[in-house]
Structure 1
Amino acid sequence: MAQLSDDCFAFGGPMMSVDEAVGLITARVSAIAEIETAALVDADGRVLARGIAAPLPLPPFTNSAVDGYAVRNADLPQGEERAFAVEGRIQAGGAAQAPIKPGHTARIFTGAPMPPQAETVFMQEDVRLVDGGKAVLPPGLKPGANVRPAGEDIPEGYLALRAGQRLRPQHVALAAAFGLTRLDVVRRIRVAVFSTGDELASPGEPRAASQLFDSNRFMLMAMLRRLGCEVSDLGILRDERASLARSLKEVAAAHDLILTTGGVSTGEEDHVKAAVESVGSLVLWRMAIKPGRPVAMGIIAGTPLIGLPGNPVASFVTFVHVVRPTVLALAGALPEPLLAIPLRAGFSYKKKLGRREYVRASLRRAEDGTLEAIKFPREGAGLLSSLVETDGLVELDETVTRVEPGQRVGFLSYADLI
């Protein structure tokens, strides 16, 4: 279990930038040390605990890259085509029993091991068969063409997967190519999630006329699971400081992170701050970000707590920039910086200097074929439709004050954020 001192996140002064907040997290959060073994089929999304050196070269033997005809380099036609006697047929999974003879060629298929002394393969499309069973090979092919040498992809002993790698399907494929069936991974990060507010009702429960169904909690739990977390759903905690404090203290000992949504602003009925301070410590992060300025960071019995805003878009944006790097740091994962793709803006926009803003946008291809980012037509951090009907976020850094059509902007696809 991660243990942090009550003052290790202490911060005072002006609003913290997004980069400062992320830097503070990654520098101070200690990675979970517990390791478990996962079957290869269950390894996607997990964080690799130990690096993997290639136990064999890939490919493990020299093989043909195409369907065709294998020959010795010494026999390559020079200047004009040449007829070769075809001797042998080697399929994928088979083996050549004898070395190829001078002046001969062997029929070979993609993935089949090269026969001894054969070094080049002619593609079957370039070969002409003539009466008598001979293959006529054209001149001009380079020695070694269409052959995959042993270890061409990865040599034996190479550090193919690093500790801290968050495994994706391509990494699982590589481990499978080494013949591995189980991987040592970091134990899943345990996260307790709850919403706060008397104005919320859980889906499936009765909803009063003045209540909203709680959507943030389910969005955040889904995002956490995509990060490979083990999630505990604490439901909705009502606006009562003492019960909030008791619940926080109870879950802190059994979780690596506590995540809340709502109740972290400065209103009289926003009780999370007082509840945390009664059982731990909390420093509000006045982050210079829109949407999502009211973000809180606290420590309860050594367990970090992050309080996100109640508006769904603000909660989504701050999850990406605060919770995501915290989870990765707790798991000891290698850094995964969010890299905005440069695109052309198809909209006008004004913003404040010194604040980073994220504009919900869709992609379209303009008449000249260039991809453009088109701003969602309505404002508001409470519009779930703006997340559903767009493709990602346009990132406007602290130095930008205005965007005009045709200007280059950075675009973050939702697919890359979660």
Structure 2
Amino acid sequence: MTDSNKPSDCCMDATDSSISASDALKVIAANTQPVQGGEAIPLRNALGRVLAQPIHSPINVPAYRNSAMDGYALFGKDIPAAGTCRLKVVGSAFAGQPYQGELNRGECIRIMTGAKVPQAADTVIMQEWVEREGDEAIIDNRSKPGANVRQAGEDIQVDSIVLQPGDEIGPAQLGLLASLGIPEVKVYRRVRVAFFSSGDEIRSIGQPLEEGQIYDSNRYTLFGMLSELGADVIDMGVIADEAEAIRDAMLQAASEADLVLTSGGISVGEADFIAENIHQLGTVHFSKVAIKPGRPLTFAHIGDACFFGLPGNPVAVMITFLQFARPAIRRLQGKQEQLTPTLRVKAGSPLRKLPGRTEYQRGILSLDEGGELVVNSSGRQGSGVLSSMSRGNCLICLSDESGDIRPGDLVDVQPFDLLRH
């Protein structure tokens, strides 16, 4: 059941047993821990996964002293104090093809970027600063001894820790691990999330709509957001508004998943069986948060499974998921603690806001004519208006104490692209 027949957010008293958004996040953090168990997987399959153990480098990086540019390798003591001098060019070195001879004072070799620097040499002079005449190189005093040589282990030393448990493996981390020759890594297992919708007015896509019925959009937005987070999703469909059916679904979900999500049916009403059952089956940590939209938000545990009872209205589902369920899932995944990234930008349009609770309004972040970031409202802000969520590219976060916003006022903004992982 959706909350469309309940009093609107603007009519609710935010002080009535509601906790603040910041306190809700603290409660969530205190009651979620990384899932138990990990698996070793090939490096190529590790993108987006979370490390379960530290990675120690098995080698130095670079593995040997090498040239930082194309030029000539030589003894730093051969650089003249003034004027120029001539050095005999006795060979060359390329990446993967080191110079095999012995280098002496008064000699140099032609060397390419990444090539091994001969043991006796300590300096590389860039080729633009060298004049070549036959088998001689003419150098001046512009270079300093030790220039342009990368030392072994300069980037990473053998046995040093390069990645920590909780680090997420992105493309850069894949490349780093590959550069160390590491073929597989141990990661946390994927977090299992079960979710369902409830309500006699809800119909799945493909079914005909009768009077008073709506299509279930919430399961699709939840599926999308969960997939972006890399969770294993268990879609249990639409559950009828019957106390026993809801109870059975909640118990089944909690037995199969690390986290259970429901949408709708969490307010106090005659047919709000999710709210009724969660108090019987689990431990409720909080059931109201002083936010708009999404005040009737429940966080609880059913056995070992975390539970979030999200509101029924589509926008409220997305916002409460992003602000509260997403941090919980990140903690279950074992990811490093990370504050939700925000930008401080100018408002380009007036925003209506009453003090007393945190509001998340949909906005469009763009550059103004002067090249500065500015945010404007993306349209109507009702908790059932998905079109303004679809048009928007960010959330405008207005604090408890904030009132109406005028154009030019600074506001906090969370771009959607930064909320997807």
Instruction: Normalising by structure 2, report the TM-score.
Output: 0.89
Q: Does the CA-based 8 Å contact 1:37-1:184 persist in structure 2?
A: yes
1:239 is matched with 241
2:79 is matched with 76
- Give the counterpart letter for 1:87 in structure 2: V
* C-alpha distance in 2 between matches for 1:198 and 1:144: 77
2:25 is matched with 22
CA RMSD of aligned residues (A): 2.2
Deviation of 1:142 after TM superposition, in Å, equals 2.9
Deviation of 1:328 after TM superposition, in Å, equals 2.1
Q: CA, structure 1 residues 280+91, in 2 after alignment: closer, same or farther (shift >3 Å)? A: same
SS of residue paired to 1:192: strand
- The number of residues matched between the two structures is 406
2:47 aligned residue (44, 47, 62): 44
Q: Does the CA-based 8 Å contact 1:201-1:207 persist in structure 2?
A: yes
Q: Can you give the 5+ residue segments of structure 1 that lack an aligned partner in the other structure?
A: 1-11
2:106 is matched with 103
Deviates more, 1:78-87 or 1:399-408: 78-87
1:339 aligned residue (326, 338, 341): 341
1:296 is matched with 298
Say if 2:91 is the partner of 1:88: yes
- Give the counterpart letter for 1:68 in structure 2: G
Deviation of 1:138 after TM superposition, in Å, equals 4.1
Deviation of 1:281 after TM superposition, in Å, equals 4.4
Q: CA, structure 1 residues 247+101, in 2 after alignment: closer, same or farther (shift >3 Å)? A: same
Q: Does the CA-based 8 Å contact 2:55-2:163 persist in structure 1?
A: yes
Identity of aligned residues (%): 37
* C-alpha distance in 2 between matches for 1:409 and 1:29: 30
- Give the counterpart letter for 2:294 in structure 1: G
1:367 aligned residue (360, 366, 369): 369
Deviation of 1:276 after TM superposition, in Å, equals 2.5
* C-alpha distance in 1 between matches for 2:51 and 2:146: 37
Q: Encode CA deviations 1:56-77: one digit per residue, 9 max, x unaligned.
A: 2222222112222222211224
1:264 aligned residue (247, 263, 266): 266
Q: Does the CA-based 8 Å contact 2:361-2:381 persist in structure 1?
A: no
* C-alpha distance in 2 between matches for 1:65 and 1:362: 45
Q: Does the CA-based 8 Å contact 1:86-1:105 persist in structure 2?
A: yes
Deviation of 1:352 after TM superposition, in Å, equals 2.4
Say if 2:62 is the partner of 1:62: no
Q: Does the CA-based 8 Å contact 1:45-1:226 persist in structure 2?
A: no
- Give the counterpart letter for 1:363 in structure 2: L
- Give the counterpart letter for 2:150 in structure 1: R
2:385 aligned residue (359, 368, 383): 383
Q: CA, structure 1 residues 342+70, in 2 after alignment: closer, same or farther (shift >3 Å)? A: farther
1:401 is matched with 403
Deviation of 1:211 after TM superposition, in Å, equals 3.0
Q: Does the CA-based 8 Å contact 1:195-1:260 persist in structure 2?
A: yes
Deviates more, 1:395-404 or 1:47-56: 395-404
- Give the counterpart letter for 1:257 in structure 2: L
Instruction: Normalising by structure 1, report the TM-score.
Output: 0.90
Q: Encode CA deviations 1:266-303: one digit per residue, 9 max, x unaligned.
A: 34333311233343344652111222212112322332
- Give the counterpart letter for 1:118 in structure 2: A
1:6 is matched with none
Deviation of 1:184 after TM superposition, in Å, equals 0.9
